[in-house]
């Protein structure tokens, strides 16, 4: 179990790095949006490429930070139900959900997104919009996002089993000592 917990810690570090790096794209998106709006309004210059760039960055933040949200326990839960259950019951539900819902979903999405990405690269797919961007980067973002979410899901399973076996104390849920 110690080796698995080390693997989990390594995954957590990767997820933390990716999440903290990607959320800066929100600032970049705001700047791109602002400059695009200003150039369109005052200079009569516009490009669909700038709009698509914003969508790509949003996709990168959304997909790339999904694992980060899971790591920080900021994903959606039904707290009105969870608050009435014991810690043990919540641990079992979390483990069940990760194993039977999160991991299969990620595997299915990777399986189905990968060929679309490869085909997009093969044909050098471009947006049909005038001035639009190439499409393969956003398709790669989907694949990478689900890989990162899968990795974090595996990390969460390892930690959850460690908690249930009593060999790991999750600092995100442990009572504060101060």
Does residue 117 lie within any of the structural domains? Answer: yes
Q: Tens digit of pLDDT for each residue in 146-163?
A: 999 999 999 999 999 999
Q: Would you state the pLDDT for residue 175?
A: 63
* Token pair listed for 167: 């060999």
Residues in a beta bridge with 126: 134
**93-114 pLDDT, tens per residue?**
989 999 999 999 999 999 999 9
Q: Where in the sequence is the domain holding 140, given as residue range(s)?
A: 2-76+84-165
> CA 142 to CA 64: how far, in whole Å?
8
> Residue 124 pLDDT > 80, yes or no?
yes
Residue 156 maps to a domain: yes
Q: Has residue 171 been placed in a domain?
A: no
On the question of pLDDT at 176 being above 60, the answer is no
Evaluate whether 46 touches 40 at the Cβ level (below 8 Å).
yes
Q: What is the pLDDT of residue 97?
A: 92
Answer whether residue 64 is part of any domain. yes
Q: CA torsion 15→62→75→143, rounded to 10°? A: -60
* pLDDT-derived band at 174, boundaries 50, 70, 90: low
For the record, the structure tokens of 44 come out as 């009569």
Could you tell me the pLDDT band of residue 85, with boundaries at 50, 70 and 90? confident
Residue 12: predicted pLDDT: 96
Per the model's pLDDT, the better-predicted residue between 77 and 136 turns out to be: 136
Residue 175 lies in a domain: no
Model confidence band, residue 178 (pLDDT cutoffs 50, 70, 90): low
Which are the contacts of 141, defined by CB distance < 8 A and separation ≥ 6? Answer: 56, 59, 60, 63, 64
* Count of the separate structural domains present in the chain: 1
pLDDT at 177 over 70: no
Residue 43 lies in a domain: yes
Is 145 domain-assigned?
yes
Q: Is residue 172 part of a domain?
A: no
Comparing 10-24, 66-80, 148-162, the range with the smallest average pLDDT is: 66-80
Q: What is the pTM of this model?
A: 0.88
């Amino acid at each position: 179990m110690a080796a698995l917990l080390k693997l989990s810690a390594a995954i957590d570090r990767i997820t933390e790095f990716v999440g903290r790096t990607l959320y800066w794209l929100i600032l970049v998106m705001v700047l791109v949006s602002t400059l695009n709006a200003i150039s369109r309004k005052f200079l009569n210059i516009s490009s669909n490429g700038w709009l698509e760039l914003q969508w790509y960055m949003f996709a990168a933040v959304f997909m790339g930070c999904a694992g980060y949200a899971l790591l920080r326990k900021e994903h959606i839960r039904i707290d009105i139900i969870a608050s009435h259950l014991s810690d043990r019951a919540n641990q079992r539900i979390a483990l069940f959900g990760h194993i039977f819902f999160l991991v299969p979903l990620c595997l299915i999405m990777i399986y189905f997104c990968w060929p679309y990405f490869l085909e997009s690269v093969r044909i050098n797919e471009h947006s049909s919009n005038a001035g639009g961007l190439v499409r393969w980067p956003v398709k790669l973002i989907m694949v990478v996002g689900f890989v990162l979410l899968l990795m974090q899901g595996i990390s969460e399973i390892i930690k959850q089993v460690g908690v249930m076996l009593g060999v790991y104390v999750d600092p995100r849920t442990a009572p504060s000592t101060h």
